[in-house]
Amino acid sequence: MCAKKRGSIEDLAVVGIDIGKDTFHLVGFDQSGQLVIRKQIKRLALNATFEQLPRCIVGMEACLSAHFVSRTLRGMGFEPRIIPAIYVKPFNKGQKNDYNDAEAIAEAALRPNLRTVSEKDQDQLDLQALHRVRARLVSRRTATINQIRAFLIEQGITVRSGLRALKNSFETILEQRRDEISPRMRGILIGLYGDWLWLDKRIEDVSGEIEEISRTEENCANIMTIPGIGPMISTAMVAAVGKGEAFDRGRDFAAWVGLVPRQFSTGGRTILGRITKRGSRYLRMLFVQAAKVIMMRPHRWSDFSFGLWLTEAVARMPRNKAAIALANKLARTAWSLLRHGTRFDAPKDAAMEAI
């Protein structure tokens, strides 16, 4: 059987890139959908390969290094589109392989109403990296503390819950229970405690750097005028969405964070369930924490413009559900301030603990 005739390279309209660690797979089509290119290249050959191609749309899945590739191609005159993997999946045909993935990406990139991921600049990537490092350190610290507790329980020693309670009583336990704890276990516990203190110092250093950025970044400063929102949420949001241009309204941003009800509607009947939990899990966690901080201080609600709404919401729904509703409102408000460069209308004396 003869091979299918390919289109002319001059008619190239879209290229799909399946990004790998060392190799990229390219599949390109013209406007009629006829195959133009299908090749595998090394990562280092990216610039040389695309310099020989006519300027066109270039699609790629959102993944590691997608933003770097996107910035590189945009600088060369191409129109890169970073596509969430969930929007590429419907275009996959046949079995799973790199060329089929690249073909699906190319077809998805041509959809007129496709929602794409905003391209991050280097400052956003740096800020996002700080948050990821901090999250990893916090996770390691939690694991270390849990291991200390587990080893103490194995020795018949329990400590009340809370990080501070264990830290305040650790040295006392080792001294008073010297006869119950073997020398080897004592050495293990002291080593774990040293790891804990080192992690505390690293977390403090990274958090301090994030806070410094939040004070010098105008968009972060605007978001931090919202009650309950501090350096962590403001910088994480700016790192994730920039100025929020990818969303048409605040509800779209809240949906991306995963703070809207899951919908299953048909035949004119609307059925709403639990929140979708799609999108950024890290941002969703931070917004929910901020909402719970606000709800712990009902005497301050009257200071905020949404105080009356929150009072009525807590009266008519379970507290956790009200916390999610408040987190949704905080997310929508934060997007509005970020998009329009304004500040929240809360009075200055309404400051409270922020995240």
* Same domain, yes or no: 336 and 236: yes
Domain assignment present for 129: yes
Residue 96 has pLDDT above 60, yes or no: yes
* Same domain, yes or no: 94 and 130: no
* Same domain, yes or no: 244 and 311: yes
* Same domain, yes or no: 140 and 47: no
Do residues 237 and 338 touch, judged by C-beta distance below 8 A? Answer: yes
Domain assignment present for 87: yes
The count of other CB atoms within 10 Å of the CB of residue 108 is 24
Question: Which residue's entry shows tokens 């490092």?
Answer: 133
For the residues 232-240, what does the mean pLDDT come to? 95
* Same domain, yes or no: 222 and 336: yes
What is the per-residue pLDDT for 200?
Answer: 97
Residue 334 has pLDDT above 50, yes or no: yes
Q: Which amino acid is at 246?
A: A
* Same domain, yes or no: 168 and 189: yes
| pLDDT tier, 278 (very low <50, low <70, confident <90, very high otherwise) | confident
Domain assignment present for 345: no
Cβ-Cβ contacts under 8 Å for 310 (sequence gap 6 or more)? 294, 295, 301, 304, 322, 326
Q: Tens digits of per-residue pLDDT, 119-157? A: 999 999 999 999 999 999 999 999 999 999 999 999 999
Can you tell me the distance from the alpha carbon of 20 to that of 338, in angstroms, rounded to the nearest whole number?
34
For the residues 105-131, what does the mean pLDDT come to? 92
pTM across the whole model:
0.86
* Same domain, yes or no: 137 and 56: no
Q: What range does the domain containing 318 cover?
A: 218-340
* Same domain, yes or no: 104 and 163: no
Q: How far is CA 6 from CA 33, 309, 335, in A?
A: 10, 62, 46
Domain assignment present for 242: yes
From 183, 216, 249, the end of a domain falls on 216
| pLDDT tier, 6 (very low <50, low <70, confident <90, very high otherwise) | confident
Domain assignment present for 130: yes
Total of domains in the chain: 3
From 174, 201, 216, the end of a domain falls on 216
Residue 90: CATH number of its domain: 3.30.420.40
Q: Tens digits of per-residue pLDDT, 13-31? A: 999 999 999 999 999 999 8
